[in-house]
Amino acid sequence: METQYDKKLTRALVSVYDKESASGLIKELHRAGISIISTGGTLSHITDMGIPATSVEKLTAYPEILGGRVKTLHPSVMGGILCRPDHGGDRNDMERMGIDPIDIVVVDLYPFEETLESGASHDELIEKIDIGGISLIRAAAKNFRHVFVIPSKLYFPEAESMLRQGGGKVSIDDRRRMAATAMEVTSLYDTAISEYLGSGQTGTFRKSVGPGVELRYGENPHQQARFYGDLQGVFEQLSGKPLSYNNLLDVDAAMGLVWEFKKPVIAIIKHGSACGAAERESMDEAWKEALSGDPVSAFGGVIAANREIDAGVAGKICELFFEVLVAPAFTPDALEILKQKKKRIILRSLNFEPRQEQYRTALNGVLWQSRDERNTPPDQWQYPTARRPEANEEGDLLFANTIVKHLKSNAISLVKDNTLIGIGTGQTSRVDALKQAILKAKEFGHELVGAVMASDAFFPFPDCVEIAHREGITAVIQPGGSVRDQESVDFCNKAGMSMVFTGTRHFKH
């Protein structure tokens, strides 16, 4: 494929929603001696800059109609873009119809997704579905051998640089690359509209997520990776190295967990699971107790808080090596302390809210599901045992059930005084998960007498409550639903334990 600047561009059609973003590019078009055709507000913006431009109405000898819904959909425009100057039949048609070629198309589409996110009405959204702009982009991309398409304000600076460096010429390689980008822009745009009109219930899996950024690597150095989305809408990075694939997964897990709590809480995440978490009246106490859960696993972890971090807490956190700290705010003194290590990643969380849907690849397709947003409140719990939980146990049970919801199945969480003291996660049996959690708790000197236990799914046999009782655990929360629930209930009654049924399973794979 040719790589030289092989085509001198002569005539541009400019139709953009964000006028100011196009100013630099318009100036470069004019400097390169490229004539400009434009529409409506864009035309006014160009002439206000003191740059000559021809109106589309003059080109087509036809006014825009239907309140601006139809402006550029005309043979004089579409023919100019789609014509092939090296094709005899096309040349004859162009001469016969008096149509001149258009070899640059600059478009910035109506902001449908931004309008959707603003909470605008249905009628407002419908009017933000761009028709002419999409047609111009697709036509120019199809004819990239002869036309340079610039499909969004995101690419205006790059296009301006290309034109400046090439003296008004753009190579076939760059035109093809930008054509591919243009088709991506229209695909994402159409997907967003399809999702809205179909309320997400379309027959095929299509998602409008972008733009993409390269990551250093995937889960392992030999794997390639990208992130698609707008991280700046979730957090502001205040310092540190670029986030890795694994960092992003752990930050997602950490923010998703602390988002569940209303009171001050700190959680420590390692490989997607909480290895420490505590809810207290102060961040200082929350950090101390969260770290006590498993100080060994906490090394190199991701830390998340749902309150401001001050200098005192920052100093104590910095005694531990960690990868990422995310919180809604930091005092200036805290930031000064935290930034002392340049690679340490510090994130200020913004208006984070977990996505309402989740999807992942599986076999030769994609699995989709709604997010597990249910966390059954105490007023909906069922109490099958004779003894109901005490007030302090009830608080611990709610805390433990929230934690276990975020652990990989099979999962058990052990909690005492709103502090996570042991987890069993990703085990092939529930008994093994409980034994792992007990081992963790004992390893770090936690007293299990008076602790509570949460399970992500029901107990098929009474063995787990029997083991829990032997260790001094006094209350259990689980979904219930086993055909042998009564055996576990009977044992709890015999042992004086309390058991709660939530009616909600929290499998996580």
> What is the Cα–Cα distance from 312 to 179, expressed in whole angstroms?
54
Active site residues: 142, 271
Q: Are 315 and 337 in contact (CB under 8 A)?
A: yes
Residue 63 has pLDDT above 50, yes or no: yes
Residue 269 CA, chain-centre distance (Å), reads 19
Q: Are 330 and 338 in contact (CB under 8 A)?
A: yes
Tell me what pLDDT residue 274 has. Answer: 95
Residue 196 has a CB neighbour count (10 Å cut-off) of: 17
- The helix or strand, by DSSP H or E, that contains position 160, with its residue range, turns out to be helix 156-166
> What is the Cα–Cα distance from 99 to 16, expressed in whole angstroms?
23
pTM: 0.76
Closest to 295 in 3D by CA, of 315, 278, 309: 278
Tell me what pLDDT residue 1 has. Answer: 40
Joined together, the tokens standing for residue 87 give 């094709």
Q: How confident is the model at residue 201 (pLDDT cuts 50, 70, 90)?
A: low
The residue ranking higher by pLDDT, 355 or 507, is 507
What b/e string do you get for 289-304 counting C-beta neighbours within 10 Å, with b at 16 or more? bbbbbbeebbeebbbb
First to last CA, the chain: 47
Tell me what pLDDT residue 45 has. Answer: 92
Average pLDDT of span 223-236: 90
- Judged on CB neighbours under 10 Å (0-12, 13-18, 19+), 262 is exposed
> What is the Cα–Cα distance from 434 to 453, expressed in whole angstroms?
9
Q: What percent of the chain has pLDDT over 90?
A: 63
CB within 8 Å of 259: residues ≥ 6 apart: 306, 352, 353, 354
> What is the Cα–Cα distance from 493 to 465, expressed in whole angstroms?
11
Greatest C-alpha distance within the chain: 97
Q: What is the DSSP letter of 84?
A: -
Q: For 242-254, how does the pLDDT look when each residue is reduced to its tens digit (9 = 90+)?
A: 999 999 999 999 9
Joined together, the tokens standing for residue 453 give 């236990």
> What is the Cα–Cα distance from 285 to 405, expressed in whole angstroms?
24
Closest to 455 in 3D by CA, of 390, 403, 396: 403
Q: For 317-373, how does the pLDDT look when each residue is reduced to its tens digit (9 = 90+)?
A: 999 999 999 999 999 999 999 999 999 999 999 987 888 888 888 898 988 888 998
Residue 187 has pLDDT above 50, yes or no: yes
3-state DSSP assignment of residue 319: coil
Q: How confident is the model at residue 4 (pLDDT cuts 50, 70, 90)?
A: very low
Average pLDDT of span 293-315: 95
Closest to 390 in 3D by CA, of 417, 414, 411: 417
Average pLDDT, the chain: 90
Closest to 271 in 3D by CA, of 307, 235, 247, 288: 247
Sign for the CA dihedral angle at 460, 462, 464, 468 comes to positive
Q: What percent of the chain has pLDDT over 70?
A: 97
Q: Are 427 and 477 in contact (CB under 8 A)?
A: no
> What is the Cα–Cα distance from 256 to 39, expressed in whole angstroms?
46
Residue 3 has pLDDT above 50, yes or no: no
Q: For 386-413, how does the pLDDT look when each residue is reduced to its tens digit (9 = 90+)?
A: 999 999 999 999 999 999 999 999 999 9
Residue 182 has pLDDT above 50, yes or no: yes
Average the pLDDT over each of 23-32, 88-97, 136-145 and give the range with the smallest value: 88-97
Residue 2 has pLDDT above 50, yes or no: no
Q: For 413-438, how does the pLDDT look when each residue is reduced to its tens digit (9 = 90+)?
A: 999 999 999 999 999 999 999 999 99
The residue ranking higher by pLDDT, 7 or 153, is 153
Average pLDDT of span 268-284: 95
What is the β-pairing status of strands 11-16 and 35-38?
A: parallel
Q: For 68-85, how does the pLDDT look when each residue is reduced to its tens digit (9 = 90+)?
A: 677 677 888 888 898 888
CA angle 234, 240, 246 (to 5 degrees): 65
Tell me what pLDDT residue 200 has. Answer: 57
Edge-to-edge strand list for the sheet holding 35-38: 54-55, 35-38, 11-16, 104-108, 148-150
Establish whether the linkage from the previous residue to 460 is cis, with ω within 30° of 0.
Answer: no
Residue 74 has a CB neighbour count (10 Å cut-off) of: 19
Q: For 431-477, how does the pLDDT look when each residue is reduced to its tens digit (9 = 90+)?
A: 999 999 999 999 999 999 999 999 999 999 999 999 999 999 999 99
The residue ranking higher by pLDDT, 65 or 53, is 53
